[in-house]
Amino acid sequence: MWAVMKAPLFIGTDVTNMTTATQETLTNTAVIRVNQDALGEQAALLSNPSQPAQLIWGGHLMGGDAVLLAVNNGDSASTLSVSVSNLTAILAPNVEYTATDLWTGKALTGSVDATKMLKFPSVPAYDCVLLRLSKK
């Protein structure tokens, strides 16, 4: 969340004794690039706030790219679904995008355009999917 909101990252742990998972999260350069993007625009809530178990945030990045954050606020793993047609606030019309998972660095297969539905199966409770959408 801190990355898409362009907020400073405050580290509340002993950095000399942090877990590998914590270190990987705090030093993920792709996520830090989103946070430090020169456009400096915060993401906006794109999902229905009356359904707080799944929150979708999106925003613009420099150069026409976009960022998408899908959050599972539920108590158990869940499939998160995002209708890309609902993302018109962050995607240019008639443009195809490639999607990269910023936590894994892996590109999603295929491309993303305004007619697609993105589904992320088995997102753990209180976890998220963070994507960079880059113009093809």
Tens digits of residue pLDDT in 15-52 = 899 999 889 988 999 999 999 999 999 999 988 766 77
- CATH code of the domain in which 109 resides: 2.60.40.1180
Q: Is residue 9 part of a domain?
A: no
**In 3-state terms, what secondary structure has residue 26?**
helix
Q: Is residue 78 part of a domain?
A: yes
State the residue range of the domain holding 69.
Answer: 20-135
* Eight-state DSSP code of residue 19: -
Write the CB contacts of 4 (distance below 8 Å, at least 6 apart in sequence): 34, 35, 42, 43, 57, 59, 67, 69, 130
Cα distances (angstroms) measured from residue 87 to each of 27, 56, 69: 28, 10, 12
pLDDT value for 2: 87
In 3D space, the residue among 47, 70, 48 whose CA is nearest the CA of residue 133 turns out to be 70
pLDDT value for 114: 56
pLDDT value for 91: 85
Q: Is residue 15 part of a domain?
A: no
Count of Cβ atoms closer than 10 Å to residue 117 Cβ: 11
Q: Is residue 4 part of a domain?
A: no
Answer whether 129's CB lies under 8 Å from 123's CB.
Answer: yes
pLDDT value for 113: 57
Compute the radius of gyration of the chain from its Cα atoms. Answer: 15
Q: What backbone phi and psi angles, to 5 degrees, belong to 86?
A: -80, 0
pLDDT value for 39: 94
Q: Is residue 30 part of a domain?
A: yes
Render each residue's pLDDT in the chain as its tens digit; 136 residues: 889 999 988 888 898 999 998 899 889 999 999 999 999 999 999 887 667 788 999 999 999 999 999 999 999 998 888 877 778 888 888 888 888 999 999 988 665 555 677 778 889 999 999 999 998 8
pLDDT value for 88: 80
Q: Is 136 exposed, middle or buried (0-12, 13-18, 19+ CB in 10 A)?
A: exposed
Q: Is residue 11 part of a domain?
A: no
Report the domain count for the chain: 1
Q: Is residue 3 part of a domain?
A: no
